[in-house]
């Protein structure tokens, strides 16, 4: 079979006028085709959760429109556009999505929320393998971001009145995701996700040299601790869950040194989470860390995701966070569904648990 058109490259994507982030706007026929695929998944196996259909989803992903697959394939292989991209006009209808959840134990029941999860897993399967973490919300694959009463001032995705400091997702974890995918379901007040790519940050030669050295510490964030999970979702009783939380505790008690930058100097990988990085560093390391923090602060973009807009963050080359907002807790607050995607699932051999076999430790 010959291709009737020249495959596009992700490097050619235009920038969104509002925030400058490269974006791909689906045509209405492409959006309708994605809706048909996602609805077919939900219809064929109504009694099987999406987490139980991961292999099937990875096969059905090849039915995604070729133009969309081409863009994501280029992004996967080259990393361009460096940092991330937005896909818009995805088939999500806020009006029938149901109320925004209010607790981690809430399970969205609407078909629209289920379709959003299917879309995330379909498109995520074109980049790599969707995964979860055993120490976060009982290893749930599709996570929901929304404000929770009592979390207002914490450095958590469920906070609201505090600025959620920018970070690489799960920067402390040896198996942190390569990509984070955020799909908007509701955002009445256009609350922005903050975003910055390492490619845009100018650093002095000295700071760059120091940041490539293993002179820094990144501790686990609270969402992975045993106490937090016990309070919010409850804990499963099993040896491997116990070992997973013991491992997190060990990372806090005996942290390992790591570099902030790694990989190719011309397009380095980034591993940083300032809110969970102790500052008892030697003077050179402290100065280098502050320089990159200042550089990222100066280049942050505000990306407000409307319903049907998906931000794909290259978790090795970009950071993200969230601006503060006032939560209403009335079912109409900001609501985003999220997944983590690993480029190579074989890296996690021997560290995969859970019913779906992809909850990492």
Please report which confidence band the pLDDT of residue 7 belongs to, taking 50, 70 and 90 as the band edges.
Answer: low
25 is known to lie in a ligand binding site: no
- Pair 135, 246: CB distance under 8 Å: no
**85/65 Cα distance (integer angstroms):** 18
Please report which confidence band the pLDDT of residue 5 belongs to, taking 50, 70 and 90 as the band edges.
Answer: very low
State if pTM tops 0.85: yes
Please report which confidence band the pLDDT of residue 100 belongs to, taking 50, 70 and 90 as the band edges.
Answer: very high
| Domain coordinates in residue numbering, the chain | 10-199+302-360
The pLDDT value recorded for residue 10 is 44
3-state secondary structure the chain: CCCCCCCCCHHHCCECCCCCCEEEECCHHHHHHHHHHHHHHHHHCCCCCHHHCHHHHHHHHHHCCHHHHHHHHHHHHHCCCCCEEEEECCCCCHHHCCCCCCCCCCCCCCHHHHHHHHHHHHHHCCCCEEEEECCCHHHCCCEEECCCCCCCCCCCCCCCCCCEEEECCCCCCCCCCCEEEEEEEECCCCCEEEEEEHHHCCCCHHHHHHHCCCCECCCCCHHHCHHHHHHHCCCCCCHHHHHHHHHHHHHHHCCCCECCEECCCCCCEECCCHHHCCCCCCHHHHHHHHHHHHHHHHHCEEEECCCCCEEEEECCCEEEEECCCCCCCCCCCCEEEEEEEECCHHHHCCCEECCCCCEEC
Inform me whether the pLDDT recorded for 26 exceeds 70: yes
Q: What percent of the chain has pLDDT over 90?
A: 79
Across the strands, what pairs with 359?
A: 132, 353
Q: Which CATH code, of 3.40.50.10190, 1.10.1200.10, 3.40.309.10, 3.60.130.10, is assigned to 10-199+302-360?
A: 3.60.130.10
C-alpha 198 chain-centroid distance: 16
169 is known to lie in a ligand binding site: yes
Tally Cβ neighbours within 10 Å of residue 16: 17
Structure-token match 């045509």, residue found = 27
Write out pLDDT tens, residues 152-204.
Answer: 888 988 899 999 999 999 999 999 999 999 999 999 999 999 999 999 999 99
User: What's the whole-number mean pLDDT along residues 65-75?
Assistant: 96
Write out pLDDT tens, residues 287-303.
Answer: 999 999 999 999 999 99
């Amino acid at each position: 079979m010959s291709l009737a058109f020249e495959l596009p490259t992700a490097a050619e994507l235009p920038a969104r006028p509002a925030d400058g982030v490269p974006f791909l706007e689906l045509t209405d026929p492409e959006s309708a085709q994605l809706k048909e695929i996602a609805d077919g998944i939900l219809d064929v196996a109504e009694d099987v959760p999406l987490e139980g259909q991961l292999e099937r989803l990875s096969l059905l992903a090849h039915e995604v429109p070729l133009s969309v697959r081409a863009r994501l394939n280029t992004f996967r292989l080259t990393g361009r556009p460096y940092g991330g991209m937005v896909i818009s006009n995805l088939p999500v209808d806020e009006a029938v999505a149901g109320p925004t959840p209010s607790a981690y134990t809430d399970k969205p029941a609407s078909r629209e929320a289920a379709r959003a999860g299917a879309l995330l897993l379909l498109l995520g399967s074109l980049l790599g393998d969707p995964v979860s973490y055993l120490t976060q919300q009982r290893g749930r694959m599709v996570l929901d971001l929304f404000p929770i009463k009592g979390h207002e001032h914490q450095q958590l995705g469920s906070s609201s009145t505090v600025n959620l400091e920018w970070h690489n997702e799960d920067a402390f974890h040896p198996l942190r995701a390569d990509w984070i995918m955020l799909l908007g379901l509701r955002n009445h007040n256009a609350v922005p996700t903050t975003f910055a790519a390492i490619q845009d940050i100018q650093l002095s030669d000295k700071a760059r040299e120091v940041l490539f050295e293993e002179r820094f510490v990144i501790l686990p964030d609270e969402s992975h601790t045993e106490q937090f999970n016990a309070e919010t979702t409850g804990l499963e009783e099993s040896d491997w869950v116990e070992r997973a939380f013991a491992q997190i505790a060990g990372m806090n008690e005996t942290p390992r040194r790591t570099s902030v930058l790694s990989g190719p100097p011309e397009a380095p990988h980034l591993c940083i989470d300032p809110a969970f990085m102790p500052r008892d560093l030697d003077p050179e390391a402290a100065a280098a860390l502050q320089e990159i923090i200042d550089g990222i602060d100066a280049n942050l973009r505000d990306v407000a995701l409307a319903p049907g807009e998906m931000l794909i963050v290259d978790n090795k080359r970009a950071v993200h966070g969230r601006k503060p907002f006032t939560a209403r807790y009335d079912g109409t607050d900001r609501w985003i569904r999220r997944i983590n995607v690993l480029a190579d699932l074989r890296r996690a051999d021997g560290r995969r648990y859970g019913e779906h076999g992809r909850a990492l430790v």
